[in-house]
Structure 1
């Protein structure tokens, strides 16, 4: 491997809603249990805009999803293992815009990530394809495995618009029966991904139709839209015996209208096991159990990924490298990107 540079380009959070390209930035300090990845591609997610708008950490490197190759190993990483040898192609999800680690994020030439929380990329998959995976995997894994007693079948509300919109496949391989809501033009794709049934979330009877379809036995719902309307659909759909509702954002307490339903909201960054020092309600204590769950989930999904059973997210390849990512985040923020991801190669 070539000698690492002493500095890099990175997209830095400047203020609320503003990201700028900075040169001459230090490479992230490598933790003992981490690998350093030379980034080949990055993919955009709605949360890339949302986190900078709502909880900016000035000076922090932005970005969640990346794909690239391993160029250095932390001192505690097994250097004799072939899984993460130097040059290995990997993809991952990282805590960008991190107030406690401002030198690390996906939107840079180099990123550091725990060795146990990267996925090895199969030979048949390109960096572009791999970059679309990690955020959705992390989100779905957290919803399935950090939420105890999820029942069958499982409703994924708004599966087309969230970074985890491959979730029908993940849910299916995890032993659940996936049912989704979306707009009608995405029905076929969601069913191809493994959804047993799909329902139009714009229908005024969507929730009741879901309850009827599941014979009043729906016990769990993952709300990928996390709006007042989608929460109402989920609450109407869950059977009279009650169950579990998992939102991907803080939910309005006044919409918690059924005591038989246990609501919670998922914040994927807890998977790293560290405390999160953002403003409420996005501040969390360290959750080592979430880290352990994530490591088990990543090991499971890496094995499935190697079989070719999981399809990657539809994407549009963009040009211009890191400097163009700023415009892409604006397009995501304005709702111009639906049903596919923007992916940016950042080196030749």
Structure 2
């Protein structure tokens, strides 16, 4: 069924949230026990150990695998781009999608290096969302349909999903989502995006504050926050996160905008993004604050702020390193190495 033909509502989304499976605690326990037996001091591989156990819990395998990773990039346009909140015009979204298809973007190189299946999903680029500073971005049906489209991107058989986005002005939408969900001042959530100067930063902050104020009466529920302030690609990411949870597929989140989509899902259910890790800390100034709010410290901090799932694709390599150590290292007994004193 095509995206335009899919009947879906927020009630159906909420019903799915009541069916979310939890982690496989037995697999996680077995993975932790194996970590304790490997030829290294306890905890000496740091977050690599955490990643291995996390993958075990959600793949339901004491020895996780990363033979079939997928990278999914969702692209959408935003009506508020016409207000000058980006250094680039909206046409760049479609142009970058073509660059993805041609293999010329950073995410193509990183996905290839990680041996990941890269898919790009266009979200009606010729029909941008409405200007959020003047009213809701989408009607409920359109938002729910975008979420359903994101859900359809999650197929069985993949070991991990790396999620990302492309969309001129979507950091403005992400900032508005965060302001509505977590409060504070607009300036707390607004960053330079594609490279704004101070004057445009001030305009962006003013428009984010206005967007939340204009839509305030409808912001009584996280899905309504997404409908009023989000974008089609952000809604699709939220849908993909939910579908990945239903499929027990672990998820690597990219930067600020992708994490904002995850924050909406967490606001619906505090445990709904337990299967997600934040791949990297974006240089977008609000991302660190957002990661603290959702309780997920990023895996990497390389000063990146490109989007397009570049950080999430890079983190697949980190996850592969975690799996290689977890599965391939010898135990103390196997290697004939003395364990910690007292063992």
Using structure 2 for the length normalisation, give the TM-score: 0.29
Using structure 1 for the length normalisation, give the TM-score: 0.29
Structure with the larger RCO, 1 or 2 (CA within 8 Å, 6+ apart):
2
